[in-house]
Amino acid sequence: VPFSSTAVSPVALGTGVDNYCNSSTPKCYNCTFAPLCLGSYSLGPYNCAELYPSKPYCTDGVCSNTPYPKCANQTQNHFVCTGKGSFPDPNDCQKFHVCDASQNQTTYTCSPNYVYSHAKKSCARKNFTADCAVIKCRNTTAIEYVVYPKDANIYGLCIRGKATVFSCGERQEFDTNTSKCKFVCKQEGVFPRDNCRKYYECLFVTTNRYNYLEWECPAGTRFDDKMQACVEGTCP
């Protein structure tokens, strides 16, 4: 199978395994994006067309000058979907990309004097220079993470100065110190975790500042987000 059929998973450097690198033959993300593998560990995708102009296609998980037949007549992609939803273009603040669950993407360009607003998931009038936000890769040789200036839920994985855009989960922000997404409290209440028996409790400290506690439901129960409490039952 030359292409992976699942969405790209954001993986911290050298800490996660995905289905792009953990087989005898690496899998391409699409016609032009290849995985950067460290053994069976994935560091993320990189764009062959930008990094290796003479080998613009991804074939069997590596850059090649020979495309797969299905890619021969396709326009080279310069954006790769890493999940479902809206994503800012890393280089052009007037563009954004909408990705579906099958990694199909549609690119939109805002009108003059308008820029992409991730808060609105659409275009908004540009009132200040800072309204034009892009992901600036600082180092052209190393691998680094850069947080999107307008929303810390969005971040870029920069490889040789080229950024691939990722999104953290709900109520999460990317922490460049740990190279991972982390839960962030922005209001009081209880919120589910990735484990159905566990949840966070956010406590008010002062204006715009909260602390949180981590709780686990008793054995034989699970956390119900609608009930905001532990209820009898097991995880789905």
- What is the C-alpha to C-alpha distance for residues 118 and 133, in angstroms, rounded to an integer? 10
Which amino acid does the sequence have at 24?
Answer: S
Q: Residue 5: is its pLDDT beyond 70? A: no
pLDDT score of 79: 83
Q: Residue 13: is its pLDDT beyond 60? A: no
- What is the C-alpha to C-alpha distance for residues 111 and 92, in angstroms, rounded to an integer? 13
| Side-chain half-sphere exposure of 95, counting CA atoms within 13 A | 11
pLDDT score of 7: 43
Instruction: With CA atoms as reference, report the closest residue to 29 among 50, 41, 47.
Output: 47
Q: Residue 15: is its pLDDT beyond 60? A: no
Which has more pLDDT, 75 or 103?
Answer: 103
- What is the C-alpha to C-alpha distance for residues 57 and 90, in angstroms, rounded to an integer? 21
pTM over 0.85: no
pLDDT score of 66: 85
Q: Residues 77-97: pLDDT tens digits?
A: 578 888 899 999 999 999 999
pLDDT score of 67: 82
Note the helical H segments in 3-60: 48-51
Q: What is the mean pLDDT of residues 97-112?
A: 89
Quickly count: other Cβ atoms within 10 Å of residue 189's Cβ: 13
Q: What is the DSSP letter of 32?
A: S
pLDDT score of 148: 96
pLDDT score of 3: 45
DSSP string of 50-118, one letter each residue: HH-TTS-EEETTEEESS--GGGTTSPPPS----SSEEEE-SS-TTEEEEE-TTS-EEEEEPPTTEEEET
Tokens 């007037």 correspond to 94
- What is the C-alpha to C-alpha distance for residues 18 and 226, in angstroms, rounded to an integer? 32
Q: Residues 167-216: pLDDT tens digits?
A: 998 899 999 888 889 999 999 999 998 889 999 999 999 988 999 999 99
pLDDT score of 73: 62
pLDDT score of 33: 82
pLDDT score of 141: 65
Contact 28, 19 (CB under 8 A): no
Banded model confidence at residue 221, pLDDT cuts 50, 70, 90: very high
Q: Residues 17-76: pLDDT tens digits?
A: 456 787 677 888 778 888 888 777 777 788 887 778 888 888 888 898 888 777 766 555
Q: What is the mean pLDDT of residues 105-120?
A: 93
pLDDT score of 6: 42
